[in-house]
Amino acid sequence: MTYIAKPKLAHPGIPTNELGYTRRYYEGAVSTLCAGCGHDSISAGIVQAFFELNIEPHRVAKLSGIGCSSKTPTYFLGSSHGLNSVHGRMPSVLTGANLANRELIYLGVSGDGDSASIGLGQFAHCLRRGVNMVYIVENNGVYGLTKGQFSATADKGSKSKRGITNADSNIDMVGLALQLGATFVARSFSGDKAQLVPLLKAAVEHKGAAFIDVISPCVAFNNHAGSTKSYDYVREHNEVLNQLDFMPRREPITADYEAGEVEEIRQHDGQVLRLRKVSKDYDPHDRIAAMNILQARAAEGEIVTGLIYFDREAEDLHSNLNTVEFPLNTLGEEELCPGSAALDLFNADLQ
Amino acid sequence: MKNIAAVNDFVVKFANVNGSGSASANALFARAVLRMGVSASPRNIFPSNIQGLPTWYEVRISERGWQGRRGGVDLMVAMNPQTWDEDVAEIEPGGYLLYDSTKDLLPTKFRDDVQSIGIPLTRICNEAYTDARQRQLFKNIIYVGALGALLDLDPQVIAALIGEQFKGKEALMQSNVKALAMGRDYALSHFDCPIGLQIQKSDSVGEKIFLEGNSAAALGAVYGGATVAAWYPITPSSSLAEAFERHCKTYRHDSDSGRARYAILQAEDELASIGMVIGAAWNGARAFTATSGPGISLMQEFIGFAYFAEIPSVIFDVQRGGPSTGMPTRTQQSDITLCAYASHGDTKHVLLFPEDPKEAFEMSATAFDLADRLQTPVFVMLELDIGMNERLCDPLEWDDSRRFDRGKVMTHEMLERGDEFGRYLDVDVDGIPYRTYPGTHPQHGSYFTRGTTKDRYAKYSEAGPDYVDNMQRLLRKFETAKNLVPEPILHMDTHASQFGVIFFGSTAPAMYEAIDALEVRGLEVDALRIRAFPFSDAVTEFVAEHDQIFVVEQNRDAQLRMLLINECGFNPTKLVAVLHYDGTPITARFIVHEISEGIAALNEAPLRGTAAK
Ligand SMILES: Cc1ncc(C[n+]2csc(CCOP(=O)(O)OP(=O)(O)O)c2C)c(N)n1
Ligand code: SF4
Ligand SMILES: [Mg+2]
């Protein structure tokens, strides 16, 4: 792999966001993934989401594990700090980082091997704890970087490129996330940017554990007939529940949808999400209903996508721990060290 | 039979059944001795069990203030039928045996050379109490009352301690006082009190405090500015994390809002604990985890990551007996090589070896400075013997002018004025580069942290020269560490001896006593207490200045000796291993015996210096 810096200059006249940054400013190094890899489309979606959200890239911390997917943070938000941890352990590192500074935005990027196989434990526990983050699994059903072995999300009965049939049941990350208490759960497809970008934006604005499973075909090892994570298969079996429009706080709410088809979701910080319902009677605030529809559609061979569950009143780890409002990493001797007078009293108690 | 006669200098050991409520009664006894102004150091020898298995509490009483185990027992309080035979066998000739005489025991169960003191504890309890739990609990208090009379402990002192313990719980206090009196009265009316062993008021305790190592280390983390702690329960380290929480509740809540200036997470395992520490430290907080050997084993991959990605992290390893689950509740110094070279590839880590709770406090606070300064993992090598026992030590001290050393961190101002930032640039030729905290500056100073190889500007690079350049810098950094870590301490600085002793950690108190005892025998040794790895030049000098070095440690494979030979290139024949690793804390007697035998053997057949031609 090589590191190629992209030219920094942008043409005048190129659109900028409210901060005056071009879209280019949100990109990273040139990707070294295979041409056509789903992961690159997700990176592009992330670039667009942060550009449109007018977020200063340096206020974002990108963390990942190991895998092709986990390499992608090099390819977006070049001005953000990044950390490529060890295989399957991004959630713990992200949790610690979040504890140290509650003011940054935490973006965790992982793969299905990284999160559903070696890292299943950490995946589960960071969702349980309600770490304020966006956790993206770039799900291709295989280990891309180690050349095409099945991962734990590979569907039972699906065929590997070498013709081996997977006999093990698959792990559904979305179903798990729901059960574990994630407060924002979505699924999308790397090939559907129109669906993915608003979901990413909403997840960034969500205060709590937001999880997005993005099906992201591996063109090198899992895009053949017999795979259930190929571009063709996903397009044919994608059951879209809803389409999200993300409304930045100040945008006037215009009513250009038919009544009954649109639900406006007000978050407790005043943000509004607008959800265009495709499946008419689906309620994304009902965790149990979400679990049901997931199972029912999976039994029919359908892959449910969209905003699957959303908790308006989500709490995060910091509120559970009742930590001070300032980042812990800004506290100094004054706030942290009790000093010699307190130590004298401590000693006296033990004499 | 001549019974042992000793004032303020003997060993009392309690043999109990785990979960029988003996712990607080035994601690009451130790505290009473301390209140009499007499130095005492108690040690818990406990099983990995909640109820039913044998447990012991050994109290070393020493007017001269020896804090180590001496070896041997002068008075055994044998309350556990399961271990009766071994307990009776452990008593010194001329010693004493206090036991429950409610049931008749065969004469063969006793020793002719030991004075037996039978008190019908069960009968007394059964007559005084109806409740089963009370019968069991007060049996312990009754023997403490009897001990008071037998050893001539001031009854007022014990009564005062009971008063403090049950302040505000009048009924409980009264029943404890009553139980104490029953034991005392029985002893006074049935035996010649006091026996040959006596406690007399003294002032050998002075200003000293009585403190557990884990609590001290946790307080050091508070003083050292740790804000994030992540841990997974494991004996003997859990009480360190729990003490940190307790201390934080006292010292770290915002007085106005009541909110916490710390975050403690009980993680799902040790992999997550160390991951959280690394994440927090990367993001500019001071963070630590506390664990024991099995946890360190699990953390290996991440420790190498922190070493290579240069992320400060503090790890407390409260060592217990390994390998595997080994002896989970017994003490050892057997994680030395595990920690010194933790993880795959070429790694070396900074280790600190506190000798007692006071030093655990100091080294704990220092560990955070070292980790930040060196941007690397730092291990505080505690041991069960220090961590889970209360020890008498000098009062803790703190200099209010002391500032946290956050090491080389580039600030917004430095970046703004155009200082060159290369995450792995060795600007000061000490191997330590500058880092930035995430979110510092919009345009400058961000970089990608990774466990893969990189160039000086943190860019991914698999080029051989870049890799070697980086690995060499890490070595330079380790050289720098040599001069930053706590220096070894030379004891008996006479250089009169051709023999040297190297020791560390919890061996210290037994060693001080052993040096004294060896001197009485006419065997002078110089001793060096190692306090950190990497070893400073003082260690090399000490070894050079002596013909023969005994390296005393509490593990099977002479791990510190191995590290000394490996890192300093010493001639292995010069370093004689003295090893104690059965899980009980090392004793002064053991050391004296091994070293005197060793010296005798060396005098007969010197290992070195074969006659010159
Ligand atoms: C401890 C450890 N075991 C194994 C590996 C080898 N390894 C690297 S990436 C990978 C699988 C990655 O799969 P996934 O997370 O699905 O990412 P993808 O490449 O498919 O995007 C494995 C097994 C490793 N890096 N570390
Ligand atoms: S191997 Fe698969 S996952 Fe990896 S870059 Fe290529 S297409 Fe993407
Ligand atoms: Mg994968």
User: Over chain B, what is the mean pLDDT?
Assistant: 95
- pLDDT computed for residue A259 by the predictor: 45
Whether B107 shows a pLDDT value over 80: the answer reads yes
Give B459's contacts in chain A (Cβ within 8 Å).
3
- Does A1 fall in a domain? no
Residues 6+ apart with CB under 8 A from A237: A228, A301, A302, A303
Is the Cβ pair A347, B396 closer than 8 Å?
yes
Weakest mean pLDDT among A256-265, B18-27, B445-454, B519-528? A256-265
Whether B608 shows a pLDDT value over 70: the answer reads no
Residues 6+ apart with CB under 8 A from B256: none
ipTM strictly over 0.90? yes
Cα–Cα distance, B50 to A220 (Å, whole number) = 56
- Does A242 fall in a domain? yes
Looking up tokens 């070493």 gives B307
Strand partners for B528: B490, B502
Closest atom, ligand 2, to C-alpha of A69: 3
Is the Cβ pair A96, B230 closer than 8 Å?
yes
- Does A4 fall in a domain? no
User: Over chain A, what is the mean pLDDT?
Assistant: 91
Render pLDDT for B64-98 as a digit per residue (tens, 0 to 9): 999 999 999 999 999 999 999 999 999 999 999 99
Looking up tokens 């090598």 gives B381
What is the average per-residue pLDDT within A285-310?
Answer: 92
Render pLDDT for B288-324 as a digit per residue (tens, 0 to 9): 999 999 999 999 999 999 999 999 999 999 999 999 9
Give A31's contacts in chain B (Cβ within 8 Å).
none
Chain B (18-77) residues lying within 8 Å, Cβ to Cβ, of chain A: none
What is the average per-residue pLDDT within B117-140?
Answer: 94
Is the Cβ pair A100, B399 closer than 8 Å?
no
- pLDDT computed for residue B371 by the predictor: 98
Give A132's contacts in chain B (Cβ within 8 Å).
none
- Phi (first) and psi of residue A310, to 5 degrees: -150, 125
Give yes or no for B203 touching A (CB within 8 A).
no
Instruction: Name the residue in chain A with its Cα closest to that of B454.
Output: A3
| pLDDT band at residue A7 using 50, 70 and 90 as cut-offs | low
Give A96's contacts in chain B (Cβ within 8 Å).
228, 230, 275-283, 287
Instruction: Name the residue in chain B with its Cα closest to that of A86.
Output: B302
- Does A346 fall in a domain? no
- pLDDT computed for residue A4 by the predictor: 54
Return the structure tokens found at B416: 């703004």
CATH of the structural domain B211-393, one choice from 3.40.50.970, 3.30.1330.120, 2.40.50.1020, 3.10.28.10: 3.40.50.970
| pLDDT band at residue B603 using 50, 70 and 90 as cut-offs | confident
Render pLDDT for B562-585 as a digit per residue (tens, 0 to 9): 999 999 999 999 999 999 999 999
A126 neighbors A91 (Cβ within 8 angstroms):
yes
Across A245-281, b (16+ Cβ under 10 Å) vs e yields bbbeeeeeeeeeeeeeebbebebeeebebbbbbeeee
B264 neighbors B322 (Cβ within 8 angstroms):
no
| pLDDT band at residue B558 using 50, 70 and 90 as cut-offs | very high
Length, in residues, of chain B? 613
Strand partners for A159: A165
Total domain count, chain A: 1
Looking up tokens 């009190």 gives B193
Give A351's contacts in chain B (Cβ within 8 Å).
207-210, 395
Chain B (280-339) residues lying within 8 Å, Cβ to Cβ, of chain A: 280-285, 287, 301-302, 305, 309
Which ligand ends up closest to the CA of B305?
Answer: 1
Whether B49 shows a pLDDT value over 80: the answer reads yes
- Does A128 fall in a domain? yes
Whether A253 shows a pLDDT value over 50: the answer reads no
Which ligand ends up closest to the CA of A109?
Answer: 1
- Does A38 fall in a domain? yes
Nearest residue (by CA) to ligand 2, atom 2, is: A218
Render pLDDT for B478-497 as a digit per residue (tens, 0 to 9): 999 999 999 999 987 566 68
Chain A nearest-CA distance from B58, in A, is: 20
Q: CB-CB: which of B257, B302, B442 is closest to A56?
A: B442
- pLDDT computed for residue B604 by the predictor: 82
Closest atom, ligand 2, to C-alpha of A40: 8
User: Do B489-604 and B6-198 have the same topology in CATH?
Assistant: no
Return the structure tokens found at A323: 């930590």
Q: Could you tell me which CATH number the domain at B6-198 has?
A: 3.40.920.10
CA nearest neighbour of A165 among A226, A112, A222, A218: A226
Higher-confidence position of A273 and A182: A182
B546 neighbors B500 (Cβ within 8 angstroms):
yes
Strand partners for A307: A186
B93 neighbors B74 (Cβ within 8 angstroms):
no
Cα–Cα distance, B253 to B256 (Å, whole number) = 9
Whether A3 shows a pLDDT value over 80: the answer reads no
Q: CB-CB: which of A92, A94, A340 is closest to B271?
A: A92
Best mutation site among A316, A346, A349 for testing chain B: the one with the most B CBs within 10 Å?
Answer: A346
CA nearest neighbour of B57 among B33, B88, B25, B81: B25
- Interhelix angle B155-165/B170-190, rounded to 10 degrees, is 160
Weakest mean pLDDT among A175-189, A236-250, A287-301, B116-130? A236-250
A209 neighbors A273 (Cβ within 8 angstroms):
no
Q: CB-CB: which of B397, B398, B442 is closest to A79?
A: B442
From the CB of residue A217, how many other CB atoms can be counted at a distance below 10 Å? Answer: 27
Cα–Cα distance, A166 to A103 (Å, whole number) = 43
Chain B (433-492) residues lying within 8 Å, Cβ to Cβ, of chain A: 436-443, 446-452, 459-462
Render pLDDT for B406-432 as a digit per residue (tens, 0 to 9): 999 999 999 999 999 999 999 999 999
For ligand 2, whether the C-beta of A287 sits within 6 Å is: no
Cα–Cα distance, A93 to B274 (Å, whole number) = 8
Amino acid (1-letter code) at residue B49 = N
Ligand 1 centroid to Cα of residue A67, in Å, is 5
Q: CB-CB: which of B279, B399, B442 is closest to A97?
A: B279
Render pLDDT for B494-532 as a digit per residue (tens, 0 to 9): 666 899 999 999 999 999 999 999 999 999 999 999 999
Whether A248 shows a pLDDT value over 60: the answer reads no
Render pLDDT for A185-202 as a digit per residue (tens, 0 to 9): 999 999 999 999 999 999
- pLDDT computed for residue A277 by the predictor: 72
Return the structure tokens found at B342: 């933790």
From the CB of residue B603, how many other CB atoms can be counted at a distance below 10 Å? Answer: 8
pLDDT > 90 in chain B, percent: 93
Check which CATH number belongs to the domain holding A172 and give it.
3.40.50.970
Ligand 3 centroid to Cα of residue B267, in Å, is 26
- pLDDT computed for residue A8 by the predictor: 55
What is the average per-residue pLDDT within B46-71?
Answer: 93
B542 vs A150, B499, B524, B525, CA distance in Å? Answer: 58, 10, 15, 12
Looking at domain B489-604, its CATH class is alpha beta
SS (H, E, C) A124-166: HHHHHCCCCEEEEEEECCEECCCCCEECCCCCCCCECCCCCEC
Could you tell me the residue ranges of all domains in chain B? 6-198, 211-393, 408-485, 489-604
Cα–Cα distance, A192 to A242 (Å, whole number) = 13
CA nearest neighbour of A180 among A134, A237, A132, A129: A129
Give A61's contacts in chain B (Cβ within 8 Å).
283, 438-439
Strands (E), B235-376: 263-266, 287-291, 313-321, 327-331, 350-352
- Does A84 fall in a domain? yes
Render pLDDT for A11-47 as a digit per residue (tens, 0 to 9): 678 899 999 999 999 999 999 999 999 999 999 999 9
Best mutation site among A56, A85, A318 for testing chain B: the one with the most B CBs within 10 Å?
Answer: A85
Long-range contacts, stretch A229-235, CB < 8 angstroms, 24+ apart: A229/A139, A229/A140, A229/A141, A229/A142, A229/A153, A229/A154, A229/A155, A229/A158, A231/A38, A231/A191, A234/A189, A234/A191, A234/A303, A235/A189, A235/A191
Give B230's contacts in chain A (Cβ within 8 Å).
92, 96
Is the Cβ pair A328, B397 closer than 8 Å?
no
| pLDDT band at residue A283 using 50, 70 and 90 as cut-offs | confident
- pLDDT computed for residue A6 by the predictor: 56
Q: Which domain holds residue A105?
A: 23-334
Closest atom, ligand 1, to C-alpha of A115: 15
Whether A252 shows a pLDDT value over 50: the answer reads no
A57 vs A42, A50, A296, CA distance in Å? Answer: 17, 8, 40
What is the average per-residue pLDDT within B531-536?
Answer: 98
- Does A75 fall in a domain? yes
- pLDDT computed for residue B610 by the predictor: 41
What is the average per-residue pLDDT within B271-286?
Answer: 98
Which residue out of A140, A142, A223, A229 has the highest number of ligand 2 atoms within 8 Å of its CB and is therefore the one to mutate?
A: A140
pLDDT > 70 in chain A, percent: 91
Render pLDDT for B428-441 as a digit per residue (tens, 0 to 9): 999 999 999 999 99
What is the average per-residue pLDDT within B170-179?
Answer: 92
Half-sphere exposure of A329 (CA within 13 A, CB side): 26
Strands (E), A148-225: 149-150, 184-189, 209-215
Which residue out of A89, A117, A136, A145 has the highest number of ligand 1 atoms within 8 Å of its CB and is therefore the one to mutate?
A: A145
- Ligand 1 interacting residues, C-beta cut-off 6 A: A 66-69, 87, 111-114, 138, 140, 142-146, 151
Ligand 1 centroid to Cα of residue A83, in Å, is 16
Give A78's contacts in chain B (Cβ within 8 Å).
446
